[in-house]
Chains A and B, each alone.
Chain A
Amino acid sequence: MNMKRLKLLLSVIIVAGFMFLASCDNSNDPDPLPLKTGVLIVNEGNFGAGNGSISFYDEELQTITNNVVKTANGGSEIGSLVQSMFLYDEVGYILCNDADKIEFISEADYKYLDNPTTNISQPRYMTAVGNKGYISCWGAWGENYTLPDSYVAVIDLTSREVVDTLECGSGPEGIIVLNNKLYVANSYETTVSVINLADNSSEKVNFDAAPKHFAPGADGNLWVSISAGWSYPADKSGVQSINLTTGEKGNFVPIQNTAGSIVSDVSGEKIYILAAELYPKTGTKIYVYNTITKNLLTDALISGDNFYGLGYNVTTDKIYVSDSKAFAGPGDIHVYDTDGTKSDDQITGVGPNGFAFK
């Protein structure tokens, strides 16, 4: 073997290698951002990775654009887990529960409107009325993974500052305002806090397992998803109503392994409920409950794997289901008609957990 040739070969390989590296790192220019109406998807991201993001789905063209916030802002990412997003009055509120902040973007073009509000601890979900936003916050962790300091933060939507806090139970999730009353689902206990916004007086409605989220029904009741998790007896999972006038509980409708996500259609006649099969089966299901006929369809409307979030587009009557793919890679969304026919699938960011319709 010729020494010189070998040396030459080595040099060629090293130089070629570096040239190859240099040449394959050119990134493509991102596509222009779609700015029209459509569906925003919250990708929660992985714990400790800060890779939460927002995607946009164009229902008409059936196309998805991922990372719209990052792209609209010159690469400046949200940089956190994203728990949820709330659209109100042309502003997108992005609630980041590990970076303890709320980011403000323009609903139209996804550009940041301000620096984030940071005087907040583990924000989860938001609602708004008038010029006030209400945010369920877990507060700091206590011992043994308890949440002793949960609260509702009140933000002024003009100054974007936390101006007040309201008391609630432990681990508040879903939050909704109806008839000037704020309903907060306290998921680390078995109660819903009902706060009268006129005087901030509050009372608690008690359930048999953990309340998670709300869906207003056409029957004039507020429906609550109740999840047994593994802390409560399995037969306590389901949905239950709260009478908006009397504040009393109505009938309990048992549904095995409800996960928490619940949405209603435009009138509130039908509510859609996310549930899981019993282990060792690993599937997930969407059930439909009719609040007028008081009938739960025994067969699931939709079945699949790793369903994680649920949405309903009241303008187009499409059902949106997100598929977390176990947070092991990019997730999916599936779009269905109300009869359960799938009309589209799209690939999202990591752990899509919910939708906002603009």
Chain B
Amino acid sequence: MNLKIPVLALLFLCLSVPGRTQMKTMELEEVVIEGLPFEKFSSGSKIVKSDSLTMAQLGQETLAQYVLRNTTGYIKEQGHKMLASVSFRGTGSSHTGVFWHGVNINSLTLGSTNFSGVPLFLFDDIAVHYGGASSLHGSDAIGGSIHLNSTPTWEDGAHAQFRYDYGSFGNHFSGVKVNFGNGKWEAKTRAFNHMLKNNFKYSVTDRLGNNSEIEQEHAEVHNYGVLQEVNGKISKRGFLSLKGWFGKNRYEIQPMMVTYPGQPQDGDEIFDRNLRLVAEYQHFYRRGALSSSLGYVRDYQLFDESDVIETKRGIASLSYEWNMDEKTILKAGGASKYIVPNVWAYQEDLTEWRSDVFISVKRMILENWSASLNARKTFVPFTVAPVAPSLSTGYRIKKGRSVLAFRAQLERSYRVPTFNDRYWGEQGRPDLKSEHGFSVELGHNFVHQGESDRFEFDISGYYMKQDDWIAWKPTDNLWRPFNLKKVEAAGVEVQGKYGQKIRAVQFEVGGLYALNRSVLLEGVSENDAAVGYQLPYTPKHRAVLYASLMYKKFRLSINNQYTGTRYGIDVIHEKIEGFFLTDLRFGKDFSLGEHHFSLEGQVLNVFDVAYQNVKRYAMPGRNYLMSINFYLSN
């Protein structure tokens, strides 16, 4: 038993084989996965993982598209493929942590990640951990957290994939994935280059009632990224992994829709360069496992070729997981970060040390009932971050081919203020408190695996109360940040799917729906009119309906996503209509002896819906994408 957990973890890591799963028969995977390092301590929360089939088919898709198509989260996208900020469970963009192999990649200066700048071609797995989980992940994990991972394949041999996409509005994507290894060591390389001219058209009515078609200008996007990974089983019990991810994104910032033909469409330009390095070593003992990692992240942003915003951070972490007895697992550890910012508005030679300590205990109380108690504390100079505890519990019954599970969780989460909040010019306030709050959630999951069919259903309900959210407000001569707002959120999330295989035909249908009420309890000042209203850009309703069909080597899928009415900053008067989008995808695989290739077409926004995600920022109508993939192996 003692070795089983780490061994299972390793086995799990070997399960998905990107680029090849596509050729296997379609595998219908579980909604809730096992195997992420934090998963065993969060049996009370909802964790949903990407399926390998979906991931293998991704090319130029970004994390923004993934969230809109596959989760109940919302993405506020300020123009097509422009700055995209996330909202899970009615929280703000800096309340979702984005982790790459345990490293929080949210910008230290702004507090959030641009979801349009995270290319999924580079990753094997995405896990969405809904709800607060600061006790496990630290700062930012309030509304949710997203975990991007690569998984070792440990194959003996070499595989390569080449992909090229060509689409509407000057869309060119080329990508390559190469894996080779000898079963003990392996190297994986992924790289892509994506150009998008983004010169779609929209229509405008002028003040005299004349319609004109406007071509979007100044919205060009260029993304480039490479991910290199080396994994080694350096001994019977030691596992080493070295990973590096470098990305470059250049955005011409899409201007607002013109209000008259001939209005100049110009604006600012942003150039991002991000380097992220992680070295992980895990050693498995008879009754436990030691995990250590070293990381380095450099975020560099140049605004209009003049203002530099840069941070560098070095990260070290160490933890030990101990199987105390057959029913109890204890994990404890710590992490430290050294941060060096270089921002024109900060004082020179500013640096900061931050450290975390954490502990988790899981116990099987009964055969089917587990509970864990987790706690984490972050130490930040000049301010106090709260201790974040959580109590998480799950109950599972297996009956024949069905598994019924119930879960419950109570937790406290927090977000350390950004460097801009704390150190910007004379206004920054290093002593700002962390935003913090508590949440409670209940959930139920049902899976039935039939002979040739599978059904899954999951429902969650949550309540969350948040305090000390930061807002900037004008004071004597300057705007300054304050801990001002209180927010309450409550909601329900439902998802389910059904898949069946009938001879050569496989199909799957599924849906997700979220109802979220997220309101301001206290605003920026007394008598704030926004109190009692839903927060800006947090839809009450989000839904996704999808279906896919495979027949021999032909595949067809459809994804419908609905985002309900949102309100702008004027949460009382500025209503932004909801939108319903339909995307269609079809493809066929061809074999060439050992090798194979596939052709794919996509029709996006099939019904040519004219919509805006962020008010007054144009989005494209119906558009097309064609892709070709070559898979080579030996």
A interface residues, Cβ below 8 angstroms from B: 1, 3, 6-7, 9-10, 13-14, 17-18, 20-21, 24-25, 27, 46, 48-51, 53, 66-67, 73, 76-80, 99-101, 103, 112-116, 118, 143, 228-230, 257, 276-282, 305-306, 308, 323-332, 345, 347, 349-350
Given A6-B446, A17-B513, A325-B524, are A1 and B402 also a contact pair (CB < 8 Å)?
Answer: yes
Please state if A330 and B529 are interface contacts (CB–CB under 8 Å): yes
Within 8 A of A (CB), among B459-515: 471-480, 482, 494, 496, 498, 511, 513, 515
> What's the nearest-Cβ distance from chain A to residue B501, in Å?
17
Known: A114-B207, A349-B574. 20 other contacts (CB 8 A): A3-B455, A6-B446, A13-B494, A13-B496, A13-B513, A17-B515, A20-B541, A25-B578, A51-B568, A76-B205, A77-B616, A100-B263, A101-B263, A280-B475, A306-B524, A308-B474, A326-B524, A329-B529, A349-B570, A350-B574
Q: Which residues of A contact B616 (CB under 8 A)?
A: 49-51, 77, 79
Given A3-B455, A14-B513, are A67 and B475 also a contact pair (CB < 8 Å)?
Answer: no
> What's the nearest-Cβ distance from chain A to residue B498, in Å?
7
A308 to B475, CA, bound (A): 11
Please state if A257 and B477 are interface contacts (CB–CB under 8 Å): yes
Given A21-B541, A276-B476, are A114 and B208 also a contact pair (CB < 8 Å)?
Answer: yes
Interface centre among B448, B494, B528, B616 (most CB of A within 10 A): B528
Given A14-B513, A50-B616, A279-B475, are A99 and B259 also a contact pair (CB < 8 Å)?
Answer: yes
**In the assembled complex, B571 has its CB within 8 A of some CB on chain A:** yes
Name B530's contact: one of A3, A78, A114, A325 (CB within 8 Å): A325
Please state if B513 and A350 are interface contacts (CB–CB under 8 Å): no
Q: Which residues of B contact A281 (CB under 8 A)?
A: 475
> What's the nearest-Cβ distance from chain B to residue A18, in Å?
7
Given A230-B426, A349-B573, are A328 and B494 also a contact pair (CB < 8 Å)?
Answer: no
A331 to B57, CA, bound (A): 48
A-B contact pairs, 9 of them (CB 8 A): A101-B263, A114-B208, A325-B524, A326-B479, A328-B523, A329-B520, A329-B572, A350-B568, A350-B574
Q: Which residues of A contact B511 (CB under 8 A)?
A: 10, 14
Q: Which residues of A contact B455 (CB under 8 A)?
A: 3, 6-7
Within 8 A of A (CB), among B541-567: 541, 543, 545, 562, 564-565
A305 to B496, CA, bound (A): 49
> What's the nearest-Cβ distance from chain B to residue A123, in Å?
14
Q: Which residues of B contact A332 (CB under 8 A)?
A: 527, 529
Please state if A18 and B568 are interface contacts (CB–CB under 8 Å): no
**In the assembled complex, B233 has its CB within 8 A of some CB on chain A:** no
Q: Which residues of B contact A78 (CB under 8 A)?
A: 259
Please state if B259 and A101 are interface contacts (CB–CB under 8 Å): yes
> What's the nearest-Cβ distance from chain A to residue B565, in Å?
6
B interface residues, Cβ below 8 angstroms from A: 205-208, 256-257, 259-260, 262-264, 306, 399, 402, 404, 426, 446, 448, 455, 457, 471-480, 482, 494, 496, 498, 511, 513, 515, 520, 523-530, 533, 536, 541, 543, 545, 562, 564-565, 568-575, 577-578, 615-616
Please list the 3 inter-chain residue pairs (A to B) with the smallest Cβ-Cβ separation, ordered nearest first: A329-B530, A326-B473, A112-B207
A308 to B577, CA, bound (A): 30
A278 to B399, CA, bound (A): 69
Nearest to B539 among chain A residues (CB) is A21
> What's the nearest-Cβ distance from chain B to residue A198, in Å?
35
Q: Which residues of A contact B475 (CB under 8 A)?
A: 276-277, 279-282
Please state if A329 and B569 are interface contacts (CB–CB under 8 Å): yes
Name A115's contact: one of B207, B480, B572 (CB within 8 Å): B207
Nearest to B535 among chain A residues (CB) is A329
A103 to B545, CA, bound (A): 44
Please state if B562 and A350 are interface contacts (CB–CB under 8 Å): no
Please state if B207 and A103 are interface contacts (CB–CB under 8 Å): yes
A77 to B576, CA, bound (A): 13
A110 to B616, CA, bound (A): 21
> What's the nearest-Cβ distance from chain A to residue B432, in Å?
13
Q: Which residues of A contact B530 (CB under 8 A)?
A: 325, 328-330
Nearest to A21 among chain B residues (CB) is B541
A48 to B529, CA, bound (A): 22
Name A230's contact: one of B264, B478, B513 (CB within 8 Å): B478
Please state if B578 and A21 are interface contacts (CB–CB under 8 Å): yes
Given A7-B455, A101-B259, are A329 and B528 also a contact pair (CB < 8 Å)?
Answer: yes
A77 to B578, CA, bound (A): 18
Please state if B474 and A1 are interface contacts (CB–CB under 8 Å): no
Please state if B569 and A46 are interface contacts (CB–CB under 8 Å): yes
Q: Which residues of A contact B205 (CB under 8 A)?
A: 76
Please state if B477 and A229 are interface contacts (CB–CB under 8 Å): yes
> What's the nearest-Cβ distance from chain A to residue B71, in Å?
16
A282 to B496, CA, bound (A): 51
Please state if A325 and B260 are interface contacts (CB–CB under 8 Å): no
Interface centre among B306, B476, B527, B529 (most CB of A within 10 A): B476
Q: Which residues of A contact B472 (CB under 8 A)?
A: 326
Please state if A21 and B206 are interface contacts (CB–CB under 8 Å): no
Nearest to A346 among chain B residues (CB) is B529
A342 to B146, CA, bound (A): 50
Please state if A10 and B570 are interface contacts (CB–CB under 8 Å): no
Please state if B207 and A116 are interface contacts (CB–CB under 8 Å): yes
> What's the nearest-Cβ distance from chain B to residue A111, in Å?
9
Interface centre among A21, A50, A228 (most CB of B within 10 A): A21
A78 to B446, CA, bound (A): 51
Nearest to A105 among chain B residues (CB) is B207
> What's the nearest-Cβ distance from chain A to residue B31, in Å?
13
> What's the nearest-Cβ distance from chain A to residue B479, in Å?
8
Q: Which residues of A contact B256 (CB under 8 A)?
A: 48, 50, 79-80, 99
Nearest to B256 among chain A residues (CB) is A50
Q: Which residues of B contact A345 (CB under 8 A)?
A: 527
> What's the nearest-Cβ distance from chain B to residue A323, in Å?
8
A118 to B263, CA, bound (A): 8
> What's the nearest-Cβ distance from chain B to residue A44, in Å?
11
A21 to B500, CA, bound (A): 29
Given A230-B426, A306-B473, are A21 and B562 also a contact pair (CB < 8 Å)?
Answer: yes
Given A1-B402, A25-B578, A114-B207, are A10 and B457 also a contact pair (CB < 8 Å)?
Answer: yes
Please state if A324 and B257 are interface contacts (CB–CB under 8 Å): no
Name A328's contact: one of B259, B524, B541, B574 (CB within 8 Å): B524
A330 to B478, CA, bound (A): 21
A59 to B543, CA, bound (A): 45
A345 to B569, CA, bound (A): 20
A6 to B511, CA, bound (A): 14
> What's the nearest-Cβ distance from chain B to residue A154, in Å?
21
A323 to B480, CA, bound (A): 17
Name A51's contact: one of B263, B477, B578, B615 (CB within 8 Å): B615
Q: Which residues of A contact B571 (CB under 8 A)?
A: 329-330
Please state if B473 and A17 are interface contacts (CB–CB under 8 Å): no
Q: Which residues of B contact A18 (CB under 8 A)?
A: 543, 562
Name B615's contact: one of A49, A229, A331, A347 (CB within 8 Å): A49
A50 to B576, CA, bound (A): 13
A46 to B29, CA, bound (A): 45
Q: Which residues of B contact A80 (CB under 8 A)?
A: 256, 259
A101 to B533, CA, bound (A): 33
Q: Which residues of A contact B573 (CB under 8 A)?
A: 53, 66-67, 330, 349
Nearest to B485 among chain A residues (CB) is A328
Q: Which residues of A contact B482 (CB under 8 A)?
A: 282
Please state if B207 and A279 are interface contacts (CB–CB under 8 Å): no
Q: Which residues of B contact A6 (CB under 8 A)?
A: 446, 448, 455, 457
Please state if B543 and A21 are interface contacts (CB–CB under 8 Å): yes
Nearest to B479 among chain A residues (CB) is A326
Please state if A51 and B574 are interface contacts (CB–CB under 8 Å): yes
> What's the nearest-Cβ distance from chain B to residue A47, in Å?
11
Interface centre among B208, B260, B474, B543 (most CB of A within 10 A): B474
Please state if A7 and B529 are interface contacts (CB–CB under 8 Å): no
Please state if A118 and B477 are interface contacts (CB–CB under 8 Å): no
